[in-house]
Structure 1
Amino acid sequence: MLKRAENLALAAALASMALLPVAEILLRAVFRVGISGVASFTQHFALVAGMLGAAVAAREQRLLSLSTLDSLLDGRSAPLARFFTRTVAVIVGALLCLASVELVLAERAGGNVIAYGIPVWLGQAALPLGFALITLRLAWSAGVGWPARLASLALAAAVAAAAASRLPLGNAMAITAVCVVLVAAILGSPVFTTLGGVALFLFWSDGLPIASIPLDHYRLVVNPSLPMIPLFTLAGYFLAEGGAPRRLIRVFDALFGGMRGGAAIVTVLACAFFTSFSGASGVTIIALGGMLMPLLLSAGYSQKNALGLLTGAGSLGGMLPPGLPLVLYAIVARVSIEEMFLAGILPGLLLVALVALWGFSRAPRAAVTARKFDWREARAALLAAKWELALPPVAFLGLFA
């Protein structure tokens, strides 16, 4: 029941992020009225989607980690290492939940509203709720039986109670806690444990309010540009599920596949195009790899060169607008996203050209007979992929018009 509710809430948050701005545009164009605070609502839905997504990742045991050392352990050491890493993560999650509760209570006392009387603290409530779900699920995975799970929760509750009571944390204790967090990171604890845990214990030792950490998290997530990231990821999912990879490969194969090295050029262009909108090279490789790998092998490329070209080409679109790396850098560096997009065009095209040139240089000279250019097939492929090919002009018009 909880799993279904989480999935529905996450889908609703993503749908609201995508539909609210569209509804605002249509209402203003047709009825000359708008939605008050639509940007703020969209930003808070991004916060909800992020926290629910993290909770779902914890449920599926797919939280990112910096190490996979725990998977290499066997025998008695494996459950001990798992209990240690999960317990450290549970402690950090409990502290982040406590800090988020303090933030929500402070915001509730302030009385700020988003729009239509909806308070800001209601949107911020996604923080403690999300961290609570993550903490409980990490505790559940701390061991196969209740003793390990309860022990993990008890340790987390004790540390959280000490933090809530404002007990001082000396420098020696803070250094020890940071070292424990780093050891847990080496053994495979989630990334948020390392980043959040180090910050929490250092803030605590300096007597600073730990609510500052979720406050910074909140300010970063409600950045006006950040909703672009989940929306681009959602767009990439729809493109992949809608058959866009097949149509794009058909277009580039019809235009360039007949020349020597054409398979490499098709691979580079298709991957660069798709990654610029999906935002993730892994998604591109999964969506296109099953079609491009046989294409490269049939063109005479060795398996080593084909794998290298496909893997490298999967990340080329990150420099081309509207690539997500450009969005993230613009947010962190606090520069204009439009300027970042313009600045990324030439370097991105240069990368595409260089990788295509490398693929051309590795093409077998006489393995496959070149075929003649087929105008009819090129026209049919362009018509079939007209909506996918319209994405870059639409994006540019929306950003720069």
Structure 2
Amino acid sequence: MPSPAEHGLPGERPAPTFAARVENAVSIGLLVGMALLPILEIVGRRVWRTGIPGSSSLVQHATLWIGLLGGAIAARDDRLLSIGHLVDRFREPYRRSLSAFVAAVSAAVSLLLAGSGLQLVRAEWRDTHFIVPFLPLWVAEGVIPAGFALIAWRLVRRAHGGVWTRAAGAIGAIAGVAFASSNLILGGVPFAAAVVTLLLAVVLGAPLFVALGGLAVLFFRHEDVPLAAISAEIYRIVTSPTLPTIPLFGFAGYVLTMGNVSRRLVRFFRAIVGWMPGGIAVVTVLVCTFFTTFTGASGVTIVALGGILLPALLVERYPERFSLGLLTSSGSLGLLFPPCLPVILYAVVAGIAVDQMFLGGFLPGILLSLIMAGWAVRGGVQAGARRSSFSWKELGAAAWEAKWDLLLPVIVLVGIFGGIATAVEAAAMTVLYAIGAEVFIHRDAGFRRLLSEAGTETSRLVGGFLLLLAAATGLTGYMVDAGVPQAVFEWVRSTIDSRFTFLLILNVFLLLVGAFMHIFSAIVIVVPIIAPLAVAFGVHPVHLGIIFLANLELGFLMPPVGMNLFMSAYRFEKPFGEVCRAVLPFLLLLLGGVLAITYIPWLTTALLQK
């Protein structure tokens, strides 16, 4: 079973070293700067009729820095996403040998990506451009080779077995770099052997970015294409204008997680619907939806709210299996609402306006939440669950206590759709608002502790995900150059002649993708392939995006490797098979909702027509 660290969840760690504290401080400073600059931009437009020159470019390049630095922090803390640590199941001395092998392959790929970045920096050095006066572009790009080199060092240092294992890993990494850099890789047999070696390392526990980045390196080398093309693609996607919203909204989500927002929301929603049949179950659906919308991570929702909501459900006489299934399934709700991170990433990759994706996901998100709430009511009636009497006094007190938390979605929606701020500026407003509410109003945490813990957690999350994005972008660039999307396009057009059939096959395919692939990786790898197909079959681009995200949301619950299943088993200390059985009815219900979203385009496009 994956550990909490593998999914970016807080755990107990030793006291940080001086170097770690410096890295954390730099990453927090970058996040704070990314939040302040857009606010100053808004003020400048209102007061001086002009913004701050170069502020948008600075924020975009800060995203590149927070991505690579955060990736190094995630590697330092063993928080890079992998499919599992299979190597830990072997006995000594095999465990040490396999650990050295995994470290060698992982570090070799990281060093090759660092070399790719160095080629890009050298090219920019010869033809200097400036981000803002006195800040050359090559300085900003320098974080790519530096970040991957640091990651390589840390992947070797974390190898199990002591100094000899690490030495073997380092030697193996150097040998791997030499092999991949030589002309031997151009041959068929050495190339195939390199691919098998890479995939074996990933199965044993190498981070997922190693698989994606390694395949990109091998394919480019096999075609004798300069590796600088990979870093050029990484730079292009990570510095895109909308991507800074991801670290900013992620920062706001972790600020909320550290406070008592979950307790306040539970009290508020219970005051509204606690009188209904299945009241506390409906509260579970609503709170999980609200929470996931801002954290962007359903696993975090399960861990953060499980300790509050599962005992509450059991006390109200709900069966344990029903309660377990409801909490596990509700953890993925909220992924279609603004400002959830996967919606933003999809918009970036597909080239769609973020506000259009937010509008398109609103009604489908409500549909899925209503389906879950309706089943929760039915469960409450069957269980004979207790209900609390409605009280205007309690509702008023709960609303007053949670008023600052409930205003957060209003800030995002009014800021973006009211024309007051861009998506990045709305994200910055959300960060400052969340910090102000938690520190100065609710006083749940001190300012320094809040920035330190929430900022570091955000850096780990964003770094781990942006490494996946960066590596997948390089692989996607190769597939586009090799004509893979076009080949798939031609095959589908010649095989499928019905829009209905195409959508059905798309649903099955995306459910499998969602079960086996992290949502961020899936967006970057799969979207460039299916987007042209959908256009050919007359599917609206926003509708395709919502179909995509809704299916991947459901993939979190798909056995055998749906992430929410593992997280629930970990959080509630239940056997994995028991969690799967508990989730099955909810999985079938949500599947019906996903099919409705797929075959009723109006649910997605209705608000777009306004």
Q: Under a length normalisation based on structure 2, what TM-score does the superposition of the two structures give?
A: 0.63
Identity %: 44
Preserved CA contact (<8 Å) 1:98 1:164: no
Q: 1:164 to 1:106 in 2, by over 3 A?
A: farther
Preserved CA contact (<8 Å) 1:87 1:142: no
Deviation sequence 1:167-186 (CA, Å, 0-9, x none): 76322211110110011111
Q: 1:369 to 1:192 in 2, by over 3 A?
A: closer
Deviation sequence 1:154-209 (CA, Å, 0-9, x none): 33234434666777632221111011001111111111111011110111111101
- State the match for 1:342 in structure 2: 359
2:116 pairs with 99, 111, 116, which one?
99
Once the two structures are TM-superposed, the CA of residue 297 in structure 1 deviates from its matched residue by: 0.9
Deviation sequence 1:73-119 (CA, Å, 0-9, x none): 22322212211111110110111111111111112222111112311
The one-letter amino acid of 1:221's match is V
Tell me, yes or no, if structure 1 residue 286 matches structure 2 residue 303.
Answer: yes
Tell me, yes or no, if structure 1 residue 137 matches structure 2 residue 154.
Answer: yes
**Matches of residues 2-401 of structure 1 in structure 2 within 5 Å?**
2-161=19-178, 169-365=186-382, 367-401=384-418
Deviation sequence 1:209-253 (CA, Å, 0-9, x none): 111112111111111111111111111111122221111111100
- What's the secondary structure of 1:114's corresponding residue? strand
Q: 1:369 to 1:152 in 2, by over 3 A?
A: closer
Q: Which moved more, 1:108-117 or 1:153-162?
A: 153-162
Once the two structures are TM-superposed, the CA of residue 365 in structure 1 deviates from its matched residue by: 4.6
What CA distance in whole angstroms lies between the structure 2 residues aligned with 1:75 and 1:144?
Answer: 9
- What's the secondary structure of 1:318's corresponding residue? coil
Q: 1:167 to 1:320 in 2, by over 3 A?
A: same
Q: 1:242 to 1:31 in 2, by over 3 A?
A: farther
Once the two structures are TM-superposed, the CA of residue 331 in structure 1 deviates from its matched residue by: 1.5
Q: Under a length normalisation based on structure 1, what TM-score does the superposition of the two structures give?
A: 0.95
- What's the secondary structure of 2:131's corresponding residue? strand
Deviation sequence 1:293-331 (CA, Å, 0-9, x none): 111111111222111111111110001122222112111
Q: 1:316 to 1:148 in 2, by over 3 A?
A: same
Preserved CA contact (<8 Å) 1:168 1:207: no
- What's the secondary structure of 1:316's corresponding residue? coil
Q: 1:259 to 1:143 in 2, by over 3 A?
A: closer
Preserved CA contact (<8 Å) 1:65 1:190: yes
Preserved CA contact (<8 Å) 2:319 2:383: no
Preserved CA contact (<8 Å) 1:102 1:211: yes
Once the two structures are TM-superposed, the CA of residue 270 in structure 1 deviates from its matched residue by: 0.8
Once the two structures are TM-superposed, the CA of residue 149 in structure 1 deviates from its matched residue by: 2.1
The one-letter amino acid of 2:373's match is A
The one-letter amino acid of 1:115's match is V
- What's the secondary structure of 1:362's corresponding residue? helix
Deviation sequence 1:27-51 (CA, Å, 0-9, x none): 3323444321111111111111111
- Runs of at least 5 residues in structure 1 that lack an aligned partner in the other structure: none
Preserved CA contact (<8 Å) 1:21 1:39: yes
What CA distance in whole angstroms lies between the structure 2 residues aligned with 1:113 and 1:261?
Answer: 60
The one-letter amino acid of 1:212's match is A
What CA distance in whole angstroms lies between the structure 1 residues aligned with 2:179 and 2:43?
Answer: 52
Bigger relative contact order, structure 1 or 2 (CA pairs below 8 A, ≥6 apart): 2
Question: Aligned residues, how many?
Answer: 401
The one-letter amino acid of 1:201's match is L
- What's the secondary structure of 1:319's corresponding residue? coil
